Chains A and B, each alone.
Chain A
Amino acid sequence: MNRTLTKPLADDLVRPLFHTSVWFYAIVLTAGTVVACGAAAWAFQVWNGIGVAGIRWPVFWGFYLVNFVFWIGISHAGTLISAILRLVDAQWRRPVTRCAEVITVFALMIGAMFPIIHLGRPWLAFWLFPYPSSREIWPNFRSPLAWDFFAINTYLTGSVLFLFLPMIPDLALVRDRSTGWRRRVYGFLAFGWRGTTTQWNRLESAMQIMAVAIIPVAVSVHTIVSFDFSMATVPMWHSTIFGPYFVAGAIFSGIAALIIAMAVLRKTLRLEAYLQPIHFENLGKLLLLMSLLWAYFVFAERLTVWYGNEPSEMAVFWATQRGEYAVFYWTMVVCNFVIPLPILGIRRLRTITGCVIASLGVLVGMWLERFLIIVPSLAHKQLPYSWGTYEPRPVELTIMAATFAAMILLYALFSKFVPIISIWEMRAGDRPATPSATGDHS
Chain B
Amino acid sequence: MAYRWGMAVDLDRCTGCEACVTACHAENNIPTVGAGQAARGRAMHWIRVERYYEGDFPDVRVKFRPVLCQHCDAAPCEAVCPTYASHQSEDGLNAQVYNRCIGTRYCGNACMYNVRFFNFFNPEWEKPLNLQLNPDVSIRSVGVMEKCTFCVQRIKAAKVLIKSENRDLKDGELQPACAQACPTTALVFGDLNDPESRVARLSHSPRGTKLLEDLGAEPKVTYLQKQAWYEPDAH
Q: Nearest chain-A residue to B49 (Cβ)? A: A385
Within 8 A of A (CB), among B59-93: 65, 67, 76, 79-84
Known: A50-B103, A120-B143, A125-B102. A231 touches B80 (CB 8 A): yes
How many chain B residues sit at the interface, stated as a range, is 35 or more
Q: How far is the CB of A387 from chain B (nearest CB, A)?
A: 9
Q: Is the CB of A143 within 8 A of B82?
A: yes
Chain A residues lying within 8 Å of B108, measured Cβ to Cβ, are 57-58, 60
Given A57-B43, A60-B109, A145-B106, CB of A119 within 8 Å of CB of B143: yes
A233 near B144 with CB under 8 A, answer no
* Chain-A contact segment, one of B118-126, B172-180, B224-232: B118-126
Segment from B17-25, B34-42, B129-137, B158-166 that makes contact with A: B34-42
A76-109 vs B, Cβ < 8 Å mask (1 yes, 0 no):
0000000000000000000000000000000000
Contact status A143-B81, CB under 8 Å = yes
Determine whether A378 belongs to the interface, using a CB cutoff of 8 Å to chain B. Answer: yes
A137 to B65 Cα, complex, angstroms: 39
A353 located at the interface, meaning its Cβ lies under 8 Å from any Cβ of chain B in the complex: no
**Partner of A143 from B40, B80, B113 at Cβ < 8 Å:** B80
- How many A-B pairs have beta carbons closer than 8 Å: the answer is 145
Interface of A is mostly: loop
In the complex, are the beta carbons of B113 and A383 less than 8 A apart?
Answer: yes
A120 to B117, CA, bound (A): 12
B119 touches A120 (CB 8 A): yes
Residues in B neighbouring A385, C-beta threshold 8 A: 48, 50-52, 65, 67
A48 at the interface (CB under 8 A from B): yes
Q: Which of A334-385 contact B (CB under 8 A)?
A: 378, 381-383, 385
A208 CB within 8 Å of chain B: no
Please name all residues of chain A whose beta carbon is closer than 8 Å to the beta carbon of B80 when the two chains form the complex.
142-145, 231-232
Contact, CB under 8 Å: A383 / B114: yes
CA distance A299 to B58 in the complex (A): 44
Asked if B154 is at the interface of the complex by the 8 Å CB criterion, the answer is no
Per-residue CB proximity of B45-57 to A under 8 Å, as 1/0?
0001011100000
Query: Which of A58, A59, A121, A127 contacts B144, CB < 8 Å?
Result: A121
CA distance A146 to B142 in the complex (A): 23
- Count chain B CB atoms within 10 A of each CB in A55, A59, A120, A139 and give the residue with the most: A120
B101–A120 CB distance below 8 A:
yes
Report the minimal beta-carbon distance from B106 to chain A, rounded to whole angstroms: 6
Q: In the complex, how many angstroms separate the beta carbon of A117 from the nearest chain B beta carbon?
A: 11
* A233-B110, A383-B212 as given contacts; A60 in contact with B82, CB under 8 Å: no
Whether B102 pairs with A121 at a CB distance below 8 angstroms is: yes
CB atoms of A128 and B42 under 8 A apart = no
- The answer to the question of B112 belonging to the interface, with a C-beta cut-off of 8 Å to chain A, is yes
Query: Whole-angstrom distance between the alpha carbons of A51 and B119 in the complex?
Result: 8
Q: Are B122 and A120 in contact, with the CB atoms below 8 A? A: no
Counting chain A residues whose Cβ lies within 8 A of the other chain, the interface size class is 35 or more
Q: Judge if B1 is at the interface, Cβ distance under 8 Å.
A: no
Chain B residues with CB below 8 A from A268, complex form: none
Residue of A nearest to B79 (CB): A142
Taking a contact as CB atoms under 8 Å apart, the answer to whether A49 and B121 are in contact is yes
Asked whether, in the complex, the Cβ of B114 is within 8 Å of the Cβ of A121, the reply is no
* Closest chain A CB from B99 CB (angstroms): 10
- The verdict on A273 contacting chain B, using a C-beta distance below 8 Å, is no
What are the residues of chain B within 8 A of A120 when measuring CB–CB?
101-105, 118-119, 142-145
Nearest neighbor of B215 in chain A, beta-carbon distance: A233
Distance, CA A354 to CA B100, complexed state (A): 52
Q: Are A143 and B121 in contact (CB under 8 A)?
A: no
User: Is there contact, CB below 8 Å, between B112 and A51?
Assistant: no
Using A140-B84, A381-B112, A382-B212 as known contacts, say yes or no to A56 and B105 having CB atoms under 8 A apart: no
Chain A window 50-69, contacts with chain B (Cβ cutoff 8 Å), 1 for yes, 0 for no: 11001111111100000000
Interface centre among B40, B48, B82 (most CB of A within 10 A): B82
**A residues in contact with B102, CB < 8 Å:** 119-122, 124-125, 127-128
CB contacts under 8 Å to B, within A212-234, are 228, 231-234
Please state if B42 and A51 are interface contacts (CB–CB under 8 Å).
yes
Residues of A within 8 A of B41 (CB): 56-59, 388-389
List residues 115-138 of chain A with CB under 8 A from any CB of chain B: 115, 118-122, 124-125, 127-128, 137
Alpha-carbon gap, A234 to B48, bound state (A)? 21
Contacts of A122 in B (CB 8 A): 102
> Per a CB cutoff under 8 Å, which of B48, B118, B121, B142 touches A60?
B118
Query: A386 at interface (Cβ–Cβ under 8 A)?
Result: yes
**Contact: A128 with B52, CB < 8 Å?**
no
> Nearest chain A CB to B40's CB is how many angstroms away?
6
Q: For residue A124, which residues in chain B have a CB less than 8 angstroms away from its CB?
A: 102
Once A60-B118, A125-B102 are accepted as A-B contacts, the answer to whether A50 and B142 lie under 8 Å apart by CB is yes
Contacts of B120 in A (CB 8 A): 49-51, 55-56
Measured in the bound complex, the distance between the Cα atoms of B103 and A51 in whole Å is: 12
Partner of A127, one of B83, B114, B145: B83
Can you name 9 extra interface pairs (CB under 8 A) apart from A127-B102, A128-B102? A51-B42, A51-B120, A60-B105, A60-B108, A118-B105, A120-B101, A121-B142, A127-B82, A142-B80
Partner-B contacts on A (CB < 8 A): 48-51, 54-61, 115, 118-122, 124-125, 127-128, 137, 139-140, 142-146, 149, 228, 231-234, 378, 381-383, 385-386, 388-389
5 A-B pairs with CB atoms under 8 Å apart are A57-B42, A57-B43, A128-B102, A139-B83, A233-B110
Q: Shortest 4 CB-CB distances between A and B: which pairs?
A: A120-B103, A120-B143, A56-B41, A51-B120
